[in-house]
Amino acid sequence: MRWPLHLDDMRSLTARARAAEGLFAAGLALGASGAVGCAAAADEPERPAQGVGGLAAGSDGADVGTPIDSAGNASSGGKAGAPTAESAGTGHAAGSGGAPGGSSGSGGATPMGSGSSAQPTLLPKATQTCPPIKPGSLTFAGQSVTVWAGTPSATAQGALVIYWHGTGGNPQEALLALGQAAINEITSAGGVVAAQAQTNGKGTNTGNNVWFTGDFAVADEIVACAIEQLHIDTRRIYASGFSAGGLQTSWMAYERSGYLAAVVPYSGGLTGLGSLVLTPIAMPQDPSNVPSAMAVHGREGSDMLILDFAVQSRAYLDDVKKKGGFAIECDHGGGHMIPSDAGAAAWKFMQAHPFKTNPSPYASGLPTAFPAYCKLF
């Protein structure tokens, strides 16, 4: 399924919206290219900064490729290498349901959402020979994908997390957004974290030419191969991403609602301006499933790169709620960044929300371990 609007359509529609509704009065101006999204100049890549105690933003901030230790801090030395089997660690003990456990609240187990008995019915099939899934850089559908993977097992059914990096970023950004501890937990349970290196450029631009809808076909190939080789739990397929990757994540929640259980967009939301929405909110792949959503963003007016990501994130959460889904909002109050304390909460949120979870185990309130700036939407 392809949303029929392309970049030229986006320019034209945005120009009409500007003339008709004055959507740019608040300073949301198109860049010289006219592309809608979190456009950063090609020589000025976005650098997801962490909050206090994490990576600092600005000219002296750590690059996305800087090695991150298990506490989420930048370590000395060169660029981070490909993930290794040893870096997967042992993770945490599995819960009674076979899924990885963790702490929540005052020390109790993380609520593991049981969801309904429904299984995804639109799972993809591999279209090419799958590469042996192991930690490192692999090729799926002709695209380079960095993979953190557990050991294949007929009994261990881990989760799969697809990660989309921001403008100027790289797959190592997943270490900031999820945290090494969460990745360890996922892989120790036989699961996979996969982050595509760059777009295949096919289909529709979902933001500022960083990702396109054609990249979902790469994600499909990853899903199919992970099912085939690692026997992942098909009710625990998730997506996350930052900035341009956050817009891609929110878009994927609609175009791949046939198998996504939950999503965590960082500074993402709907692609568009004002009443002009390009994200296919009226055309979900599976209208019966609304992936649970945890939207993390900064303060309105501060978390901006052409789009105000606080506004776009709330517009996305509004639509999730309108469609009967579960949503939480995490407004960290800062600028365009990945906060250092959000990764653990993001993974807990995913754990608690397998496919078609309803009601949410968080319906009456969030675990106390979540950042104080997170709330039910």
Q: Where do the domains of the chain lie, and which CATH numbers do they carry?
A: 103-376 (3.40.50.1820)
Residue 41 pLDDT exceeds 70:
no
**In the prediction, which pLDDT does 290 show?**
98
Residue 132 pLDDT exceeds 90:
yes
Mean pLDDT of 263-277: 95
Of 261, 237, 236, 233, whose CA–CA distance to 153 is shortest?
233
User: Max alpha carbon distance in the chain (Å)?
Assistant: 59
Mean pLDDT of 283-295: 98
Mean pLDDT over all residues of the chain?
78
Q: Give pTM, 2 decimals.
A: 0.75
Residue 242 pLDDT exceeds 80:
yes
Peptide bond into 359 cis (omega under 30): yes
Residue 53 pLDDT exceeds 70:
no
H/E element, 43: none
**In the prediction, which pLDDT does 183 show?**
98
Residue 102's contacts (CB-CB under 8 Å, 6 or more residues apart) are 92, 109, 110, 185, 347, 348, 351
Q: Which residue has the higher pLDDT, 83 or 118?
A: 118
Distance in angstroms (rounded) separating the CA atoms of residues 284 and 99: 28
Distance in angstroms (rounded) separating the CA atoms of residues 240 and 159: 13
Mean pLDDT of 322-346: 98
Residue 123 pLDDT exceeds 80:
yes
Residue 77 pLDDT exceeds 80:
no
Cβ–Cβ contacts within 10 Å for residue 119, how many? 12
Q: State phi, psi for 108 to the nearest 5 degrees.
A: -75, 175
Distance in angstroms (rounded) separating the CA atoms of residues 136 and 64: 17
Residue 263 pLDDT exceeds 60:
yes
Distance in angstroms (rounded) separating the CA atoms of residues 81 and 276: 41
Q: Are 326 and 355 in contact (CB under 8 A)?
A: no
Q: Are 352 and 102 in contact (CB under 8 A)?
A: no
Q: Are 171 and 163 in contact (CB under 8 A)?
A: yes
**In the prediction, which pLDDT does 116 show?**
58
Beta strand pairing status for 136-140 and 103-104? unpaired
Residue 19 pLDDT exceeds 50:
no
**In the prediction, which pLDDT does 291 show?**
98
**In the prediction, which pLDDT does 105 show?**
36
Mean pLDDT of 177-193: 97
Mean pLDDT of 320-342: 98
Q: Which residue has the higher pLDDT, 99 or 219?
A: 219
Residue 327 pLDDT exceeds 70:
yes
Q: Which pair of tokens denotes residue 352?
A: 């608690």
